[in-house]
Amino acid sequence: MSDPLSSGATIGILGGGQLGRMLSVAAARLGFKTHVFEPGGEPPAAQVAHRLTTAPYTDADALARFAQSVDIVTYEFENIPTSALNIIEKYVQIRPGREALRVSQDRLSEKQFLQNLGLTVAPFADVPDHDALEKAVETIGTPGILKTRRFGYDGKGQARLKTPQDIAPAWADMAGQPAILEGFVEFTHEVSVIAARSPQGDIACFDPGENVHRDGILHTTKVPARLNASMRTDAVLIAAKILNALEYVGVLGVELFVTRAGLIVNEIAPRVHNSGHWTQNGCTVDQFEQHIRALAGWPLGNGSRYADVIMENLIGADVKQVADLAKEPNCAVHLYGKSETKPGRKMGHVNRIVK
């Protein structure tokens, strides 16, 4: 696809959660229709999408019909089965491309990819089994974090090792799945860069945000982040290096640890990212529209920021605060339309415009 996608075209979105929902709204703002593919019932994105297909990723017919009904496909999460992608790609282009998914679906490939680009990552070791974990702890030492190579998010599939005595329980936590051990990095804070690349290779970055997590889940993102000028430049160069190496099209999230020795890449997400939600109330073109613009071959927004913003996630019962939050001046409320409140579930977020 070399011509820009025209208004009126349909964008297929794999995944019907809050990211798919906010992508749908952004697509509509540019005159596109969306068609959401989601195995689960009552997906939040379907409330604002033009069409919904409810089917598992193993349903080849449903995938083929979905692919034939849309002009391009994107996704809101990286753990889409390869078999599903193979079927879709017979009919229609997927953006961001397969290489970004291959790299980011597996923590080991991701670390190796970043290291091969000359970027600094935390010390890591491949841990296919219990013996390998013992060797890895000898090399990397403790404290460290054992993480499943695949399907981990928001702190899931992770076990901390404070001392070598934690090897057995940590390995048991992996339930036999291949893992990697990551060494402990002494960092002062975490920032993330939300960056976009167009099919022509243009790149635009939003200002880095500073992230605070609680219980392994993002709690707040604040812009501007605490970063000196040279780190601010580095953050952009790191993001650009990753985007170009992947010949990436769309929005990518890059999480970075800020250390005395410079920036260390924690992880990348080949999609719009929770730490970029602040852009909805700080930028003319937000991360969701930026992603749609990129994959549609439209000009990218320039990423410039007109306000300082603090984004705060509403997790589980936090959503009960909405009546009070709605009273706050300069506080933009964004709810995801999820019918059931569960502990740890992302129910919405607020963007507080602080300047």
Nearer to a copy of itself, 181 or 332 (CB): 332
Measured from the CB of residue 352, what is the shortest distance to a copy of itself in angstroms? 9
83-102 core/surface letters (b: 16 or more CB in 10 A; e: else): ebbebbeebbbbbbbeebbb
Nearer to a copy of itself, 161 or 295 (CB): 295
Nearer to a copy of itself, 54 or 142 (CB): 54
Nearer to a copy of itself, 260 or 327 (CB): 327
Nearer to a copy of itself, 45 or 243 (CB): 45
Maximum Cα–Cα distance for the chain, whole Å?
59
Q: What is the DSSP string of 39-54?
A: SSSS-GGGGTSSEEEE
CA distances (Å), origin 299, targets 71, 100, 302, 305: 18, 22, 9, 17
Measured from the CB of residue 57, what is the shortest distance to a copy of itself in angstroms? 24
Measured from the CB of residue 29, what is the shortest distance to a copy of itself in angstroms? 6
Known binding positions = 107, 147, 152-158, 182-185, 190, 213, 266-267
Measured from the CB of residue 328, what is the shortest distance to a copy of itself in angstroms? 9
Known binding positions for ATP = 107, 147, 152-158, 182-185, 190, 213, 266-267
Residues 6 or more apart in contact with residue 63 via CB below 8 angstroms: 37, 55, 57, 84, 87, 88
The CB density around residue 266, as the number of other CB atoms within 10 Å, is: 19
Nearer to a copy of itself, 25 or 311 (CB): 25
Measured from the CB of residue 48, what is the shortest distance to a copy of itself in angstroms? 5
Measured from the CB of residue 103, what is the shortest distance to a copy of itself in angstroms? 30
**Binding region for a copy of itself (CB under 8 A):** 4, 7-8, 21, 24-25, 28-34, 46-50, 281, 284-285, 293, 298-299, 301-302, 304, 306-307, 319, 322-323, 326-327, 329-339, 348, 353
Q: What is the DSSP string of 117-131?
A: TT--B--EEEESSHH
- Nearest residue to 24 via CA among 337, 281, 252: 337
Tell me the backbone φ, ψ of residue 66, rounded to 5 degrees: -60, -50
Tell me the backbone φ, ψ of residue 109, rounded to 5 degrees: -60, -40
Measured from the CB of residue 211, what is the shortest distance to a copy of itself in angstroms? 22
Give the Cα separation of 123 and 132 in Å (integer): 15
Nearer to a copy of itself, 107 or 197 (CB): 197
Nearer to a copy of itself, 229 or 323 (CB): 323
Measured from the CB of residue 194, what is the shortest distance to a copy of itself in angstroms? 18
Give the Cα separation of 93 and 288 in Å (integer): 19
Rg for the chain (alpha carbons), in Å?
20
| Token couple for 342 | 């569960």
Residues 6 or more apart in contact with residue 273 via CB below 8 angstroms: 192, 194, 251, 253, 287
| Residue 222 CA to its chain's centroid (Å) | 17
Residues 6 or more apart in contact with residue 328 via CB below 8 angstroms: 352
